[in-house]
Amino acid sequence: MSYDRAITVFSPDGHLFQVEYAMEAVRRGSTAVGVRGSDCVVLAVERRALAKLQDPRTIRKIVTVDDRCTLAFAGLTADARVLLQKTRVEAQTYRLTCEDAPSMEYLARFIARTQQKYTQRGGVRPFGIATLLAGFSDPEHGEGEGKPVLYQTDPAGTHSSWKAQVIGGRNSKSLREFLEKGYEDGMKEKEAVKLAVQALLEVVDSGAKNMEVCVIRRNETITMEEKDLDEVVKEIESEAEEGKKGGATAASGDE
């Protein structure tokens, strides 16, 4: 008896196969890396080679949910578009009813809740995407400013906060280990961008045109220009070269 027909059915050993197949769809998507610094969040996504006749401006993998929250996804683009629409409407509805912007945690919870709903109904399939949400949290009691946060959601409908995370692509496990090795608390923007790009370089061909990097600062979100990105890539590669050549102890070292 096949247990992957309808998602409402558990298999005897407790699997929801449709959800797991959805996660496989995420693995087929292009890689997205998120790194949380001390005063910013960096989102870096792999830009797969486009068809020559295609307009690159219409392919966007890092999108704005509202003026405080930025989202990167991995998996089925069409599913992402639908989920993104729902989230945008939810963000504005929250503003309309509560006269206040929704917190990052609220939006992450909303996306996760929506993804979970589609795993527990008949006749629908789960969203085949995982998302990385980047923004700043609301200030806690007694503190003046919020802190940068990075949330991840997956097709099962779970959401959690991460210091650095990677979704999509076949090598996400090894990339996560790479991030664990390279991550330090309290990184400034430059170091956070470098770590994110380094992680991405493990899976993409070298060059700024194969990646898109967004830096989410407290008051603005910027997309890095190609020439700035090229410089970061050059710096990483020259350090790697030095590491290979001599007994250079520093070196960002990629293994």
Partner 1 sequence: LDFSEHSPDSQVSTRPSNSFVIMDSLLGFVGGDFAILAADANAARSILVFKQDEDKIVPLSKKMAMAASGAQGDRVQFSEYIQKNIVLNELRAGFPMSCVATANFVRHEIASNLRRKPYNVNCLLGGFEAAKGGCLYYVDYFGTMHKMNFACHGHCAAFCLSLFDRHWKPNMTLDEGKELMKKCFTELKVRYLLNMPKFVVKVVDANGVHEIDLAAE
Q: List interacting residues with partner 1 (CB under 8 A).
A: 64-66, 85, 88-89, 92-93, 95-96
For the sheet with 221-223, list strands across it.
164-167, 32-36, 41-46, 211-216, 221-223
Output the smallest distance, CB 105 to partner 1, in A. Answer: 20
Closest CB to partner 1 among residues 83, 201: 83
Output the smallest distance, CB 47 to partner 1, in A. Answer: 18
Output the smallest distance, CB 88 to partner 1, in A. Answer: 5
Output the smallest distance, CB 95 to partner 1, in A. Answer: 6
Closest CB to partner 1 among residues 89, 248: 89
Closest CB to partner 1 among residues 4, 66: 66
Output the smallest distance, CB 132 to partner 1, in A. Answer: 18
Cα 103 to Cα 55, 145, 218, distances in angstroms = 34, 13, 14
Residue pair 70/94 in contact by the 8 Å Cβ criterion: no
Closest CB to partner 1 among residues 66, 237: 66
Q: What is the DSSP letter of 225?
A: P
Residue pair 240/68 in contact by the 8 Å Cβ criterion: no
Residue pair 187/195 in contact by the 8 Å Cβ criterion: yes
Residues 6+ apart with CB under 8 A from 159: 108, 109, 111, 112, 151, 152, 153
Closest CB to partner 1 among residues 67, 242: 67
Of 83, 82, 103, 85, nearest to 94 by C-alpha is 103
